[in-house]
Structure 1
């Protein structure tokens, strides 16, 4: 890792220790690409609508979501699969029906904060 010096940029006041600490912190974070992919995946309007519905209703089946969003079951299933693959949602079987919900954990809190819920 390169050492930061005041010569990198022309400023009047430089806190080298602060810059070195921030440099260490940002290089410790290894998952920026993964987080960017997750945020990009959530940037789809249909997926955001699905996440909103799951955030306010707790659980829904694909047919309920399709009816509410006035889309085909196939189109909703495709979006649900992408969300499930990224572990944003989880599913459980209730007889022949698959029920979807937000996963527990930090992503759930982020989604609820995004929509100003709770």
Structure 2
């Protein structure tokens, strides 16, 4: 008997527990925490915003002009990214006269998770080459 390629079109179920599947479906759709987590992930999934979070964590706090210089983008572009991060409470701001300084909001559990990821230098081990992940 030869080996068959397994993919998402080759599922052959021997038995099914419809009650279990219904319970899992209801649980997945009733969990509002997953909605919030998806919103946080969506905000942080943009490469520039994730880099901004990393830079803000490393620097402690920076103003819009600092971030514009670091990323070589316009201040309005930085402000748009920060608005998205602020809306999800991933960054917080403090005003000093005319200047607003931003920092990672560590009151947010998702932001703390990202900071922990940065601190553990786990991001350095991420690869897009799946061969590197296989034994």
Where in structure 2 are there 5+ consecutive unaligned residues? 1-14, 122-135
User: Secondary structure in 2 aligned to 1:31?
Assistant: helix
1:117 Cα deviation after fit: 4.7
- Residues 1:47 and 2:54 are matched in the alignment: no
TM-score, normalised with respect to structure 2: 0.65
2:17 to 2, 8, 28: 8
Work out which of the residue numbers 35, 41, 44 in structure 2 matches 1:33.
Answer: 35
Higher relative CO (Cα under 8 Å, sequence separation at least 6) belongs to 1
| Structure 1: runs of 5 or more not aligned | 1-5, 10-18
**CA RMSD, Structure 1 to Structure 2 (Å):** 2.7
Q: Which residue of 2 aligns with 1:56?
A: 58
Partner of 2:11: none
CA contact (8 A) 1:55 1:111 kept: no
Aligned residue pairs total: 103
Q: 1:1-118 counterparts in 2 under 5 A?
A: 8=17, 26=27, 29-105=31-107, 106-117=109-120
Contact 1:89/1:101 (<8 A) preserved = yes
Structure 1 residue 107: Cα displacement: 2.7
- TM-score, normalisation: structure 1: 0.73
Q: Deviations over 1:34-78 (max 9, x none)?
A: 211210121000100100011111100000011011111110010
Deviation string for 1:51-106 (max 9, x for gaps)? Answer: 00111111000000110111111100100011001111010100100000111222
